[in-house]
Amino acid sequence: MPDVAPELVKARVELLGKFKEALDTWHRRFSELTEENTLYAAVEGPREPGPEIEQARSFINRNLIAAKQAVIEAGVYGTISGTFMGRSIENVDPFGNVFRDLWGNSMIPYLLDMVERAMGVYEHMGANTGLVRIVSSGPFDVETAIERALRLAFKGGPPKSEKEVQDQIEVILSSVGVEFTREQETAPVGPRAFKPDFALTPIDLALEVKFTNDKHSASKAQEEISADIASFKTKWSRLLVVVYDVGAIDDPQRMRDDNMKHFGVSVLIVKH
């Protein structure tokens, strides 16, 4: 993306500061509540979360996407991978799992570090030190642009094919100004070569389009997504799947969460 405007830099520093404070408050007070319930619940009954915890959680939920976007565009976003007691995890999104524990370990410390690093980036930009610049579009910019514009492109009626969706996404990518190719780049896997619908080489992103309706089910789309992940991630570090749905997906949020949780892949579902 272009250099961030000074007023946006200031707003992001302020947002991230409040977000960091809310994360710390929720983590600290929730840990205290858990400890108190461990000690006293059997005698006095469980203690309910107080207003401080509820307010912090509400602020986190309402500002989660904005904070994640700011962290991604600062270039400090990362997922969590590792092995614990013989079990492996890959590319867990700490923002998407902010209130969950990973084998007893909270996501909050990871988030606090990322948020503080992002604040440092924007503070350098605000002070015009010249040491930090953000000059290229990131995956989140692309996803946000598609989410905002794709449904509007079909306000006259739903698309009839996947190609129609691809054509509109090409228009959106051109308007964003990101460099891309359509159905040209390949990922060789053994004797076969897999070709994503779009390759955004400058941001190391493969973008694949799916179209679901009564003839192409959500389960079939998920099978295709799983195959895409195995092939495209041999060449691109990031994969974004855009699904335009005409009545086939009952629980889009679960589909998005499951793919992020298990595969570290962003699935954007646009329902007509």
User: What does the DSSP assignment read for 109-168?
Assistant: HHHHHHHHHHHHHHHHHHTT-SS----S--HHHHHHHHHHHHHHHTTTS--SSHHHHHHH
138 pLDDT more than 60: no
Q: Are 169 and 39 in contact (CB under 8 A)?
A: no
Where is 248: in which H helix or E strand?
none
Mean pLDDT within 31-54: 69
pTM exceeding the 0.85 threshold for the entire prediction: no
Question: Which of 24-38, 147-161, 182-196 is the least confident region?
Answer: 24-38
Q: Say which residue, 257 or 49, is predicted with more confidence.
A: 257
Q: In the prediction, which pLDDT does 9 show?
A: 86
In angstroms, how far is CA 220 from the centroid of its own chain? 23
Q: d(Cα 240, Cα 198) in Å, to the nearest integer? A: 10
Q: In the prediction, which pLDDT does 48 show?
A: 66
Q: Are 239 and 206 in contact (CB under 8 A)?
A: yes
Q: In the prediction, which pLDDT does 87 show?
A: 67
Q: In the prediction, which pLDDT does 2 show?
A: 42
104 pLDDT more than 80: no
Q: In the prediction, which pLDDT does 79 show?
A: 76
Banded pLDDT at 1 (limits 50, 70, 90) = very low
Q: In the prediction, which pLDDT does 193 show?
A: 79
Q: In the prediction, which pLDDT does 51 show?
A: 85
Q: In the prediction, which pLDDT does 63 show?
A: 92
Mean pLDDT within 81-93: 68
Q: In the prediction, which pLDDT does 198 show?
A: 95
User: How many percent of the chain have pLDDT more than 90?
Assistant: 39
Torsion angle of alpha carbons 143, 148, 153, 155, nearest 10°? 140
40 pLDDT more than 80: no
- The three-class DSSP label of residue 205 is strand
Banded pLDDT at 207 (limits 50, 70, 90) = very high
What's the whole-number average pLDDT of the chain?
Answer: 84
Q: In the prediction, which pLDDT does 135 show?
A: 47
Structure tokens at 205: 């992103």
